[in-house]
C-alpha cells in the first residue's frame, strides 16, 4: 500500500493501510526511491490510498505508543515541505482492551504529523471508484458488513444511487383538446398575455403575480462600458481581436464551449444538464449493468480529485468526458430554486404532467430530444442514450425535433441581425403558420391566442447527421407563449445562432423596466401640458376658500348678504396654537415603559456583518410582548411563559449603566418577589452543544463534503470571539474583569436565551 | 439632514441599487431640495463655498445641465423645501455647547487661516450644505426655469410622502431619512446624469439585507440622529465613542435592543424623551394638504375655510373637534405641540409654501426663543454682537415679531419670548413683543397705492420718495375701511411693506409720517447708477451703528502691505467692495483664496440684510393676512404669487466676498509698486478662472465704492456719522480710488 519515504520528507510519519483483501499491514516505507519521478508516483499512490481510506476505520499509533482508533475523516496537506500533515479522526477512541476504552468527548480529533508513528486503515477498497460505489450500494441494501462510516459518509452518487430508478416508457405529451398549436403553458393569465404583444417581462410578471420586486441590476454584476470614451472604438477593435484569438482556440471537447463559439458539434444525445450545468462524472450508478462500457470504467472522478490535490495539477489536464450520459435527469432548478415564480411554474409543469392524457401516448419511443422539446412540461425521465446508438436512433430524433420546432415558442423579440437569415425560411413557413393561426382562432377562443409575431427559423446544420442540415426550427417569438421558463435552456438546439440569441434575450429580460421601479399600475404616463403645473391651485387654502365661497354663493346662502364679493376666509387668529387631535392622550403614552421583546439573534436569518462586534446585549429576555401602541402593555403571567426566565422579566436590561435598584424603580416589576438575581450560571460547555446543528448554518463539520481537506479543528465556532477587537462601536461592553459571556447558542427561537440570563452577575457595573 | 453615518454603510453593504435613467421617463419626481443641494455640493465641490459666502458659483450651471436631462426624459421635477423646524429640531440648536457642525467649521477655518490654499471642505456627509441661506436664490433659479416648488410646513420628507400618497408625484429623490417614512418603498438617492443611471434605495430590500425590522431600523436611526431628530444619543454612556449606524446595527443584530437600552439610561429620561419626540414627530409630522390645511396626515379636517360671513365671529374651525376626522386608526395625541411646536394658521403656511418665508420669526414665535448662533465665519465681531444684541436691535426684532403675531392667535401676542445667543455659551436676552397698541396700528396708515405700476422696482420707489409722497400715502385710520385702502398689486404690496419697514427702522418719523434726516438720505440712493439695494443696505448699516468707530470697520483684516499710508484705505475699500456682486462669474469650483475678515464683515451685512428682509416679509404677511377684503389674493395663481415673492427686496443672501478678495490681492501688489496696469494684469491672471476680466469688475467695484463714499460724505454733512476718523478715511479712500480710476482710464 501507499506510503512515503520516511527520510525524504517527513520523518516519523508512517502511514500505512490495510487493503481489505489482504488485511495485513503492508509498510512500503522501505521502498525508498530516489528518483523524483517515482517519488511523485509514490505520492500519488499514497494520496490515492488515503482518499480511498477516507471513511474507513483507522488506527493511529502515536509516538507515545498509544493507539487511537476512529473513522478517517480527512487528511491534511501532502505537499512537499509541508509540515502540516495531519489526520482527522471522527469518533476517536483510545484503543485498548474493551473495558478501558476511553471515549473522547469531541466528535473529531486532529492528530498532527509529529505525533503520528503509524496509521493503519482497515478495509480499504482500492478498486476504482465505480466498483466501490457498487459495493457501497450493495452494502447499504444488504446491510452486510457496513461500518458506521459507510453510513456516515455518502457521496452524492451514493445517495442518489440509493433511489432505484425505474425506466418509464416515454409518452409524448399532447394537449387535451388535441390542439397542439397552443402554447404549452403560460405563467400569467393567458388573455392578459395575449393582449400584450410586447416582449415578456419576467420581472414584471413576478412583481405583479407574487409581489416580488426584483433588484436585479446588470451593472452590479458587470462593468459598465462607457461607450462615450474617447478610445472606445479602438478598444472595441482590440477586444474583438482578442475574442477572435480565444475563439479560434480549441474547445478541448467541451461541447458547451464549442457551441458558444458557434462551432458545430454533435450534441445529440446530450441533455441540457450535461451540456450546460452538469458536473462531469461518468460513473453509472443505478444502471451498473450490461450497458457499462469501457469508457465509463475510467475513474475520472478520482483523476480530477487527484489533480486538484496535487500542486500544479490543472483541471484541463483531465480531459472531460465528451458525452457523459447522466441517467438521472431532473429539473433541478425548479426544485432547488426558492423563487416562487420558478416553483410555481414547475408546479404547473407537474400539474400538466398529471393531466397528460394517456390515450395519446402512442409513441413510447419518443426520443429524449422531443421530450426536452416539449419544453419542460415533463421532467424528462429518460432512457440513457449512448453515442453508439446515435445513428440508429437518428431518424426518430429528427422527426421529433421537427415536430418540436414547429411548436417551439421563444420569448423575447427577434434580434434584428437574425431576421435576414431567417426571412427566407420564414416566407416558406408563413403560409402554414397562417393556417395554424386561423385554426387556433377557430378552435380555441377561450384559450391563449399566440401573437402573430414572425417566426424565427434557424437552420441547424449538424455535421454528423446529413438530414438535419435541412431541418429547421421555427421559433415564434410570441411573448404570450413565453411562460416556459426553461425554454431558454432548449434554445441552443437552434445553434449556431443561439448563443447570440440567448444573449440578446437575457439582456432584455434583465433590463430594468419602469414597472419594476414604480410598481405595477404606477408607471408614469406621458406628461401632457395640463400636468405641467401640478401645484397650481393645490395646497392653497385661499383657492379652497374661494371654491367654497363660490359653492356657497351658488347655493344662494350668502348671495344676498352683500353686494360686492368678499371672501371671508377663516381668520388667522382663529387658529389655536394647538394641533387637532383625535386622542386625549399625550404622545408619551404611545410609548411603552416596558422593555420590548427581542428575538434571539440567531434564530433570525443570520446576517454577518463585515466586522463582527464582540458585543452582546446584557439584557433579559422578556416574554414575547409587542409594544402596544396606545395602551399599557398587558401583563402576562411571565412565570407561565417561561418559568426559568422570570427573575429578570421586567427588568430593563441595561445593568451596565444603572444599578439594579434603579431598574426596579424605573420599571415596575410584575413579580417583585422574583427580583432576586439569579445565581446559577449555566456552564458554558453545556451550552456549546445545545444549538441544534441546523441552526449553525454552514459552520458545523457535518456539512463538509467528503473530500474537503480542512485542518481546522472541528468545533462550533462562536460568532463573537471573546478577544477585544478594534471596532468603531461600543465594544468594551463588558469590563475586562467580567470577561466575555459565553457564546450565544439560541434555542429554537422560543424566546429563551440562556447565555445572557446572568448578566447582572456578569456585568455589574457598580 | 440624512440619517447620520448610514449612507456610506449602505454603500458598503451594497444595498444601493442602480437603475437606468430611462426608467424615470415621464415621471414626476418630488425632490427634497436639501438633499438635492447636498448631492450637487458634495464636500469636494466648491470646498470654499462657505468661506466666501453667497450662492455656489456652479449652481446655475449644474441645475441647467440637470434640467436639460429632465427635459429630455420628460421628467417633471417638483422641488420641496423644508419648512419650519420642529420642536425637537429647534432644541438641537438651543444647545449651549458647540454643535458638531460648528466644530467642523472652526476646525476648517483654523486650518484655512493657518495654511495657505488649504482646501478642506466645510461640509461633510452628515452636515450638508445649509439650505436656508441659498433658498431664495434657488427659488429664483427654479422659477426662471419654470420648475415648480413648494415649501413644506415642516419636514420636506413628510410633505413628499404625502404628495406621493396623493399621486402627485411618482417617486422621490431624497435622503436616507426616507427610509423612516412609511409608504415610501423606493427612494432615489442620486441621479448620475452622465452615466444615465440613478441609484436608489429599496426599503424592503435594505431592511432584509440589514436584517432589521422597521422598528429596529427606526430605533437605531433615532439614536444616531436624522432629519427628524438631529440629536445623537449616546446610549452607552460609559463608552465615549460616537454612536454610528454600523455600531448600533451590530448591537441590534447581536440581540441588543435600542429601546430597552434607552429605557434603562440614567439621564432622567432625557434621551428617551428625545427618542419619543423624534418618533412622534416622524409619525405625526404635519403636512400641507391639498385643500390647504396643515395637519398630520392621520387627520382630515373638513371644516369650512370660510369664517361665518354674517356673524363675523371667528369660526374656531381649527379646534372644532366635530369637524376633525381621523383618516386612519392611528390616534393623534393631544400634545403635538410638544414635539412639533405650536400651531400657526393655515394661511400663514400657505404663504410659506409659496416662498414667503419668515422662518426665524415664526420659529421664535413658536418655540419662544430666538436662537442666534455664530455666523459661518465662526468668529464674533463686535459689530455682529451689537447687531444681534443691542437694545435697538432687540427692540426692532420685538416689533417685527409683534407685527407677525398681531394677526395670529392672541396666545402668540402675549407669549413671552427671549433671545438666546449661543456664541460662546448661552446668553439670554428679553425679547419684548407685547406692545400696546400693536405696532401694526401705527404702521397701518402708511399705504402706498399706484394706479399703473404692477411690479415692484426699488429705484422707482426710492426716487419718488418725498414728504409729499408720504403725506399722500398716509391714510387716516378712520378711513381705513373704505375701498381706497385696498392694495393688491405687487408694487403696492411690496412698496407698502418696504415703507413700513423703513418706518419700523426709524427712517420715518413715527406718527407724523415725515422723513427724518436718515430718510432724506434715501433719496440720494435713488440716484445711484449701480446697485441701489446695495447702497440702501449700506445706509441701513450706518443707521444701525450710529456710533461706529473706525476700528469697527477696519478690524480685523488680513491685507498685508508695508505701505502704511494707504493700507487702511485699501482695507476699507476691499471690505465694501467685497459686498458688491460680480457679474458674469464663471462656473468654477472655487478652491482658491479665502479671507476670513472679509467674510466677517459680510456676515454683519448679511445678518442686517436678513433682518430687513424678515421685517419686509412680516409686513407683507401682516398685510396679506389682514387684507380680508382683498379679492386679489384669491385670484393669484402660483406663478403670480411667486412673482410677488421674487420681487421682494432684501430677500436673497449677499453675494460672495470674491471681489473683496480680488481687491485685496490687487492692493497687496499695487501698494508695493503703484504700477496699475501690472497689478491689474496680475489679478486678471490669477483670477482668470473666476472671471474673464477681474480688473473690469474691480473697477466697477471701485466706482461703486465711490458712491458709498459719497453717501458717507452726505451722512457726515447731515451729522449722522459723528466719528471724524471714519469720515476722513472714507474721503481719503475716495480720493485714492479717484486717482486709480483716472490712471486706468
Whether residues A271 and A406 share a domain: the answer is yes
> For residue B318, what pLDDT is reported?
41
- Quick one: pLDDT at residue A304? 54
Let me know whether A491 and A602 are in one domain: no
pLDDT band of A86, cuts 50, 70, 90: confident
Q: Count the domains in chain A.
A: 4
Is the pLDDT confidence value at A597 over 90? no
How many Å apart are CA A388 and CA A726, to the nearest integer? Answer: 65
**Do A194 and A101 belong together in one domain?**
no
Three-state secondary structure readout of A308-358? HHCCCCCHHHCCCCCCCCCCCCCCHHHHHCCCHHHHHHHHHHHHHHHCCCH
Do residues A728 and A620 both lie within one domain? yes
Pairing of strands B171-173, B28-32: parallel
pLDDT of residue B737: 92
Asked if the model's pLDDT at residue B202 lies above 80, the reply is: yes
The pLDDT of residue B312 is: 39
Are B45 and B58 contacting, i.e. CB atoms less than 8 angstroms apart?
Answer: yes
Question: How much of chain B, in percent, has pLDDT values that exceed 90?
Answer: 39
The residues, any chain, with a CB within 8 Å of residue A291's CB and separated by 6 or more, are A284, A384, A386
Q: Supply the pLDDT for residue A570.
A: 78
Q: Answer yes or no: is A2 within a domain.
A: no
From the list B65, B306, B187, the residue with the least C-alpha distance to A569 is B306
Test mutation, A548, A572, A737, chain B, max B CBs within 10 A: A572
In angstroms, the CA A576 to CA A294 distance is 96
Out of A524, A567, A607, name the one closest to residue B27 (CB). Answer: A524
* Pairwise CB contact (< 8 Å): A575 & B318: yes
User: For residue A186, what are the CA distances in angstroms to A484, A491, A513?
Assistant: 7, 18, 21
Specify whether the CB–CB gap between B155 and B227 falls below 8 A: yes
Confidence tier at B709 by pLDDT (50, 70, 90): very high
Residue A675 has pLDDT above 80, yes or no: no
A303 has a pLDDT exceeding 60? no
DSSP label of A754? S
**Which residues of chain A neighbour B412 with C-beta distances below 8 Å?**
577
Q: Is the pLDDT of residue B145 over 80?
A: yes
pLDDT at B474: 81
* The predicted structure's pLDDT at residue B153: 94
Partners of A666 on chain B (C-beta within 8 Å) are 263-264
C-alpha A621/C-alpha A624 separation (Å) is 8
Q: Cα distance from B258 to chain A (closest Cα, Å)?
A: 9
Q: Give the residue-averaged pLDDT of A46-60.
A: 84
Contacts of A670 (CB under 8 A, 6+ apart): A635, A638, A649, A650
Look at residue B173 in the predicted model and tell me its pLDDT.
Answer: 94
H helix or E strand, kind and range, residue B734: helix B724-744
Mutate which of B253, B295, B315, B627 to disrupt the A interface (most A C-beta within 10 Å)? B253
What is the torsional sign of CA A189, A190, A194, A197? positive
pLDDT band at A622 (very low <50, low <70, confident <90, very high): very low
Please determine, for residue B305, whether its predicted confidence score (pLDDT) is greater than 60: yes
The average pLDDT across B181-209 equals: 90
- What is the pLDDT at residue A501? 37
Domain boundary among A111, A126, A141: A126
d(CA B121, CA B141) in angstroms, rounded, equals: 25
pLDDT at A140: 45
Instruction: Kindly determine whether residue B256 and residue A732, on different chains, have CB atoms separated by under 8 Å.
Output: no
Q: Which stretch of A573-582, B531-540, B661-670 has the lowest confidence by average pLDDT?
A: A573-582
Instruction: List the 259-278 stretch of B: residues with Cβ below 8 A of A.
Output: 259-261, 263-266, 272-273, 276-277
d(CA B449, CA B630): 14
Average of per-residue pLDDT across B488-513: 88
Q: How far does A540 lie from chain B, in Å, by closest CA?
A: 4
C-alpha A614: how far from its chain's center?
A: 29
State how far the Cα of A733 lies from the Cα of B519, in Å rounded to an integer. 68
Contacts of A724 in chain B (CB under 8 A): none
Q: What is the pLDDT averaged over residues B103-107?
A: 87
pLDDT of residue A725: 40
Whole-number pLDDT of residue B85: 93
Q: How far apart are CA B310 and CA A568, in angstroms?
A: 10
Give which of A227, A581, A661 to mutate to test B binding, by max B Cβ within 10 Å. A581
From chain A, the residues in CB contact with B200 under 8 A are 517
The three-point CA angle B330-B334-B338 to 5° equals: 110
> Do A602 and A653 share a domain, yes or no?
yes
Task: Using CB atoms, pick whichever of A536, A548, A589 lies closest to residue B304.
Answer: A548
Residue B686 has pLDDT above 60, yes or no: yes
Q: What helix, strand, coil percent values describe chain A, rounded to 5?
A: 40, 5, 55
Residue in chain B nearest A552 by alpha carbon? B306
Residues A496, A349 share a domain: yes
| Residues A398, A259 share a domain | yes
Chain B residues within an 8 Å CB radius of A605: 211
Cβ within 8 Å, pair B78-A598: no
pLDDT at B179: 92
Last residue of a domain, one of A574, A598, A620: A574
The pLDDT tens digits for A267-277 are 556 666 666 66
A252-261, A655-664, B232-241: the lowest-pLDDT one? A655-664
Complex ipTM value: 0.83
Separation CA B268–CA B257 (nearest Å): 19
How many Cα atoms sit within 13 Å of B27 on the Cβ side?
Answer: 25
Average pLDDT over residues B609-632: 86
Of A74-78, A357-361, A602-606, B656-660, the one with minimum mean pLDDT is: A357-361
Is residue A668 one of the residues assigned to a domain? Answer: yes
Q: Please state the domain extents for chain B.
A: 6-209, 344-527+612-650, 549-595+657-745
Q: pLDDT digit string (tens) for B426-468?
A: 899 999 888 888 888 888 888 888 878 788 888 888 888 888 8
Distance from CA of A721 to the nearest CA of B (A): 13
Q: Which of B148, B236, B254 is nearest residue A613 as measured by Cβ atoms?
A: B254
Which chain A residues contact residue B287 at CB under 8 A? none
Residue percentage of chain B with pLDDT more than 70: 94
Residue A154 lies in a domain: no
Comparing A515 with A11, the larger pLDDT belongs to A515
| Weakest mean pLDDT among A369-378, A560-569, B674-683 | A369-378
A727: chain B residues, CB-CB within 8 Å: 247, 250
Q: What is the average per-residue pLDDT within A133-150?
A: 44
In this prediction, residues A643-650 reach a mean pLDDT of: 38
d(CA B648, CA B636): 16
> Which of A566, A571, A612 minimises the CB distance to B314?
A571
Least confident of A141-150, A202-211, B213-222, B670-679: A141-150
Q: With pLDDT > 70 as the criterion, what percentage of chain A qualifies?
A: 28
Question: Domain B6-209, what architecture?
Answer: 3-Layer(aba) Sandwich (3.40)
Report the distance separating Cα B579 and Cα A341, nearest Å: 66
Name which of A524, A619, A657 is nearest B257 (Cβ-Cβ): A619
DSSP A661-726: HHHHHHS--S-GGG-SPP-----HHHHHTTS-GGGGGGGSGGGS-TT----SPPSPPPSS-SS---
CB contact under 8 A, B288 and A539: yes
Q: How far apart are CA B260 and CA B265, in angstroms?
A: 9
Q: What are residue A557's phi and psi, to 5 degrees?
A: -85, -40
Q: Which residues of A touch B349 (CB under 8 A)?
A: 541
Using an 8 Å CB-CB cutoff, list chain B residues near A569: 305-307, 347, 628
pLDDT digits (tens, 9 = 90+) for A382-424: 444 444 444 445 666 777 777 666 665 555 455 555 555 555 4
Q: What is the mean pLDDT of chain B?
A: 87
Cβ–Cβ gap B333/A589 under 8 Å:
yes
Flag whether residue B677 sits within 8 Å of chain A, measured between CB atoms: no
Confidence at B284, pLDDT banded by 50, 70, 90: very high
Q: pLDDT tens digits, residue range A433-459?
A: 454 545 444 444 434 334 333 333 333
Nearest residue of chain B to residue A534 (CA atoms): B168
- Whether A619 and A718 share a structural domain: yes
- What is the domain range of residue A372? 190-217+255-280+320-515
Does residue A291 lie within any of the structural domains? no
pLDDT of B705 reads 92
Residues A198 and A344 in one domain: yes
| Chain B residues closer than 8 Å to A213 by CB | 185, 202, 204-205
The residue that leads in pLDDT, A213 or B65, is B65
Amino acid at each position: 500500500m501507499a506510503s512515503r519515504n520516511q527520510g525524504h520528507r517527513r520523518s516519523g510519519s508512517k502511514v500505512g493501510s490495510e487493503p481489505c483483501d489482504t488485511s495485513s499491514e503492508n509498510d512500503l516505507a522501505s521502498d525508498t526511491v530516489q528518483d523524483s519521478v517515482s517519488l511523485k508516483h509514490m505520492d500519488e499512490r499514497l494520496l490515492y490510498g488515503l482518499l480511498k481510506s477516507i471513511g474507513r476505520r483507522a488506527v493511529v499509533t502515536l509516538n507515545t505508543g498509544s493507539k487511537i482508533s476512529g473513522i478517517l475523516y480527512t487528511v491534511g496537506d501532502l505537499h512537499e515541505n509541508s509540515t502540516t500533515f495531519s489526520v482527522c479522526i471522527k469518533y476517536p477512541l483510545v484503543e485498548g482492551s474493551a473495558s478501558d476504552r476511553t471515549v473522547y468527548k469531541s466528535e473529531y480529533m486532529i492528530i498532527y504529523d509529529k505525533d503520528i508513528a503509524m496509521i493503519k486503515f482497515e478495509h480499504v477498497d482500492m478498486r476504482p471508484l465505480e466498483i466501490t460505489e457498487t459495493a457501497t450500494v450493495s452494502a447499504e441494501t444488504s446491510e452486510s458488513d457496513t461500518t458506521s462510516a459507510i453510513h456516515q459518509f455518502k457521496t452524492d452518487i451514493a445517495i442518489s444511487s440509493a433511489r432505484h430508478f425505474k425506466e418509464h416508457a416515454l409518452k409524448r405529451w399532447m394537449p387535451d383538446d388535441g390542439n397542439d398549436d397552443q402554447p404549452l403553458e403560460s405563467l400569467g393569465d393567458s388573455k392578459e398575455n395575449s393582449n400584450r404583444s410586447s416582449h415578456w417581462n419576467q420581472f414584471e410578471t413576478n412583481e405583479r403575480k407574487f409581489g416580488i420586486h426584483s433588484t436585479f441590476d446588470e451593472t452590479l454584476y458587470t462593468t459598465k462600458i462607457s461607450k462615450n470614451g474617447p478610445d472606445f472604438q479602438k478598444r472595441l477593435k482590440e477586444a474583438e481581436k482578442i475574442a477572435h484569438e480565444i475563439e479560434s482556440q480549441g474547445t478541448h471537447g467541451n461541447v458547451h464551449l464549442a457551441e458558444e463559439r458557434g462551432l458545430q458539434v454533435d450534441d445529440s444525445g446530450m441533455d441540457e444538464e450535461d451540456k450546460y450545468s452538469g458536473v462531469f462524472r461518468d460513473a453509472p450508478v443505478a444502471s451498473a449493468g450490461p450497458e457499462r462500457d469501457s469508457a465509463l470504467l475510467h475513474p475520472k472522478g478520482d483523476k480530477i480529485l487527484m489533480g486538484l490535490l496535487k500542486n500544479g495539477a490543472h483541471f484541463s489536464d483531465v480531459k472531460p468526458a465528451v458525452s457523459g450520459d447522466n441517467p438521472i435527469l431532473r429539473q433541478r432548478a425548479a426544485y432547488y430554486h426558492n423563487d416562487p415564480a420558478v416553483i410555481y411554474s414547475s408546479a404547473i409543469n407537474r400539474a400538466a404532467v398529471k393531466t397528460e392524457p394517456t390515450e395519446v401516448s402512442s409513441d413510447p419511443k419518443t426520443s429524449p430530444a422531443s421530450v426536452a422539446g416539449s419544453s419542460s412540461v415533463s421532467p424528462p425521465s429518460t432512457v440513457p442514450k449512448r453515442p453508439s446508438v446515435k445513428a440508429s436512433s437518428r431518424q426518430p430524433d429528427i422527426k421529433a425535433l421537427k415536430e418540436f420546432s414547429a411548436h417551439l415558442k421563444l420569448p423575447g423579440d427577434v434580434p434584428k441581425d437574425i431576421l435576414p437569415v431567417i426571412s427566407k425560411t420564414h416566407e416558406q413557413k408563413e403560409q402554414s403558420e397562417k393556417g395554424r393561426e386561423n385554426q387556433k382562432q377557430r378552435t380555441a377562443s377561450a384559450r391563449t391566442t399566440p401573437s402573430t409575431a414572425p417566426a424565427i427559423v434557424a437552420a441547424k446544420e449538424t455535421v454528423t447527421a446529413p438530414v438535419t442540415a435541412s431541418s429547421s426550427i421555427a421559433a415564434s417569438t410570441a411573448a404570450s407563449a413565453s411562460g416556459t421558463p426553461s425554454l431558454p435552456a432548449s434554445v441552443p438546439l437552434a445553434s449556431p445562432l443561439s448563443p447570440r440569441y440567448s444573449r440578446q434575450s437575457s439582456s432584455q429580460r434583465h433590463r430594468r423596466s419602469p414597472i419594476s421601479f414604480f410598481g405595477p399600475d404606477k408607471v408614469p404616463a406621458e406628461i401632457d401640458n395640463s400636468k405641467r403645473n401640478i401645484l397650481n391651485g393645490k395646497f392653497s387654502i385661499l383657492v379652497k376658500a374661494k371654491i367654497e365661497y363660490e359653492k356657497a354663493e351658488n347655493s344662494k346662502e350668502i348671495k344676498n348678504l352683500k353686494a360686492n364679493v368678499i371672501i371671508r376666509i377663516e381668520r388667522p387668529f382663529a387658529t389655536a396654537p394647538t394641533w387637532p387631535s383625535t386622542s386625549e392622550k399625550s404622545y408619551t403614552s404611545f410609548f411603552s415603559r416596558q422593555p420590548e421583546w427581542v428575538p434571539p439573534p440567531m434564530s433570525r436569518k443570520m446576517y454577518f456583518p463585515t466586522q463582527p462586534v464582540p458585543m452582546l446585549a446584557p439584557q433579559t429576555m422578556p416574554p414575547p410582548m409587542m409594544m402596544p401602541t396606545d395602551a399599557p402593555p398587558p401583563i402576562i403571567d411571565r412565570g407561565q411563559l417561561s418559568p426559568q426566565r422570570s427573575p429578570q422579566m421586567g427588568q430593563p436590561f441595561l445593568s451596565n449603566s444603572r444599578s439594579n435598584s434603579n431598574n426596579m424603580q424605573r420599571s415596575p416589576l410584575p413579580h417583585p418577589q422574583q427580583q432576586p438575581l439569579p445565581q446559577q450560571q449555566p456552564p458554558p460547555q453545556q451550552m456549546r452543544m445545545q444549538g441544534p446543528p441546523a441552526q449553525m448554518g454552514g459552520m458545523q463539520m457535518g456539512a463538509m463534503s467528503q473530500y474537503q481537506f480542512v485542518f481546522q479543528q472541528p468545533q462550533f465556532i462562536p460568532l463573537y470571539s471573546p478577544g477585544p477587537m478594534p471596532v468603531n462601536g461600543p465594544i468594551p461592553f463588558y469590563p475586562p474583569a467580567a470577561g466575555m459571556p459565553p457564546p450565544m447558542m439560541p434555542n429554537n427561537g422560543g424566546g429563551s436565551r440562556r447565555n445572557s440570563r446572568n448578566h447582572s452577575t456578569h456585568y455589574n457595573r457598580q | 439632514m440624512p440619517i447620520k453615518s448610514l449612507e456610506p454603510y449602505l454603500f458598503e453593504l451594497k444595498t444601493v441599487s442602480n437603475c437606468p435613467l430611462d426608467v424615470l421617463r415621464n415621471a414626476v419626481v418630488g425632490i427634497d431640495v436639501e438633499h438635492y443641494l447636498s448631492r450637487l455640493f458634495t464636500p469636494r465641490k466648491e470646498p470654499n463655498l462657505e468661506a466666501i459666502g453667497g450662492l455656489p458659483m456652479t449652481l446655475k450651471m449644474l441645475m441647467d445641465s440637470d434640467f436639460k436631462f429632465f427635459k429630455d426624459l420628460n421628467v417633471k421635477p417638483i422641488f420641496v423645501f423644508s419648512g419650519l423646524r420642529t420642536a425637537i429640531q429647534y432644541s438641537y440648536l438651543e444647545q449651549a455647547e458647540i454643535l458638531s457642525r460648528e466644530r467642523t467649521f472652526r476646525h476648517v477655518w483654523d486650518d484655512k487661516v493657518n495654511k495657505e490654499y488649504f482646501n478642506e471642505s466645510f461640509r461633510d456627509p452628515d452636515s450638508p450644505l445649509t439650505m436656508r441661506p441659498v433658498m431664495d436664490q434657488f427659488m429664483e433659479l427654479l422659477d426662471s426655469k419654470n420648475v415648480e416648488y413648494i415649501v413644506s410646513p415642516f419636514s420636506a420628507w413628510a410633505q413628499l410622502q404625502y404628495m406621493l400618497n396623493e399621486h402627485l408625484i411618482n417617486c422621490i429623490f431624497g435622503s436616507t431619512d426616507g427610509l423612516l417614512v412609511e409608504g415610501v418603498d423606493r427612494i432615489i438617492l442620486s441621479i448620475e446624469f452622465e452615466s444615465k443611471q440613478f441609484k436608489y434605495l429599496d426599503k424592503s430590500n435594505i431592511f432584509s439585507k440589514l436584517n432589521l425590522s422597521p422598528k429596529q431600523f427606526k430605533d437605531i436611526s433615532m439614536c444616531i440622529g436624522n432629519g427628524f431628530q438631529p440629536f445623537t444619543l449616546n446610549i452607552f454612556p460609559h463608552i465615549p465613542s460616537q454612536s454610528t449606524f454600523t455600531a448600533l446595527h451590530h448591537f441590534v443584530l447581536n440581540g441588543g435592543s435600542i429601546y430597552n437600552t434607552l429605557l434603562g439610561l440614567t439621564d432622567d429620561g432625557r434621551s428617551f424623551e428625545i427618542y419619543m419626540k423624534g418618533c412622534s414627530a416622524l409619525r405625526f409630522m404635519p403636512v400641507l394638504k391639498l385643500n390647504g390645511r396643515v395637519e398630520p396626515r392621520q387627520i382630515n379636517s373638513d371644516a369650512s375655510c370660510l369664517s361665518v360671513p354674517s356673524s363675523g365671529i371667528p369660526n374656531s374651525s381649527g379646534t372644532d373637534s366635530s369637524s376633525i376626522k381621523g383618516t386612519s386608526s392611528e390616534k393623534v395625541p393631544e400634545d403635538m405641540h410638544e414635539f412639533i411646536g405650536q400651531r400657526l394658521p393655515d394661511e400663514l403656511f400657505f404663504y410659506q409654501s409659496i416662498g414667503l418665508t419668515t422662518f426665524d420669526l415664526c420659529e421664535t414665535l413658536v418655540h419662544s426663543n430666538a436662537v442666534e448662533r455664530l455666523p459661518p465665519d465662526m468668529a464674533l465681531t463686535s459689530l455682529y454682537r451689537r447687531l444681534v444684541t443691542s437694545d435697538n436691535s432687540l427692540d426692532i426684532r420685538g416689533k417685527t415679531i409683534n407685527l407677525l403675531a398681531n394677526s395670529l392667535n392672541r396666545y402668540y401676542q402675549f407669549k413671552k419670548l427671549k433671545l438666546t445667543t449661543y456664541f460662546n455659551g448661552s446668553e439670554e436676552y428679553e425679547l419684548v413683543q407685547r406692545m400696546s397698541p400693536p405696532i401694526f396700528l401705527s404702521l397701518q396708515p402708511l399705504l402706498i397705492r399706484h394706479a399703473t405700476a404692477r411690479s415692484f422696482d426699488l429705484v422707482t420707489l426710492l426716487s419718488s420718495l418725498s414728504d409729499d409722497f408720504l403725506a399722500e400715502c398716509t391714510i387716516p385710520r378712520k378711513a381705513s375701511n373704505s375701498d381706497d385702502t385696498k392694495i393688491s398689486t405687487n408694487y403696492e404690496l411690496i412698496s407698502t411693506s418696504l415703507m413700513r419697514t423703513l418706518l419700523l427702522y426709524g427712517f420715518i418719523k413715527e406718527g407724523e409720517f415725515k422723513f427724518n434726516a436718515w430718510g432724506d438720505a434715501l433719496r440720494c440712493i435713488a440716484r445711484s447708477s449701480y446697485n441701489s439695494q446695495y447702497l440702501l443696505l449700506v445706509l441701513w448699516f450706518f443707521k444701525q451703528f450710529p456710533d461706529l468707530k473706525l476700528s469697527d470697520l477696519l478690524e480685523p483684516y488680513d491685507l498685508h502691505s508695508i505701505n502704511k499710508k494707504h493700507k487702511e484705505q485699501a482695507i476699507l475699500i476691499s471690505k465694501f467692495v467685497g459686498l458688491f456682486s460680480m457679474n458674469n462669474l464663471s462656473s468654477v469650483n472655487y478652491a482658491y483664496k479665502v479671507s476670513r475678515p472679509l467674510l466677517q464683515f459680510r456676515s454683519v451685512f448679511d445678518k442686517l440684510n436678513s433682518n430687513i428682509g424678515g421685517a419686509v416679509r412680516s409686513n407683507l404677511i401682516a398685510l396679506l393676512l389682514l387684507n380680508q377684503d382683498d379679492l386679489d389674493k384669491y385670484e393669484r395663481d402660483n406663478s403670480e404669487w411667486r412673482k410677488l415673492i421674487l420681487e421682494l427686496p432684501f430677500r436673497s443672501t449677499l453675494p460672495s466676498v470674491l471681489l473683496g478678495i480680488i481687491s485685496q490681492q490687487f492692493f497687496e501688489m499695487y501698494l508695493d509698486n503703484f504700477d496699475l496696469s501690472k497689478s491689474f494684469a496680475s489679478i486678471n491672471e490669477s483670477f482668470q478662472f473666476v472671471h474673464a476680466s477681474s480688473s473690469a469688475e474691480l473697477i466697477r467695484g471701485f466706482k461703486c465704492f465711490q458712491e458709498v463714499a459719497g453717501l458717507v460724505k452726505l451722512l457726515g454733512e447731515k451729522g449722522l456719522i459723528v466719528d471724524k476718523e471714519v469720515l476722513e478715511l472714507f474721503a481719503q479712500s475716495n480720493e485714492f480710488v479717484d486717482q486709480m480710476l483716472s490712471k486706468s482710464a
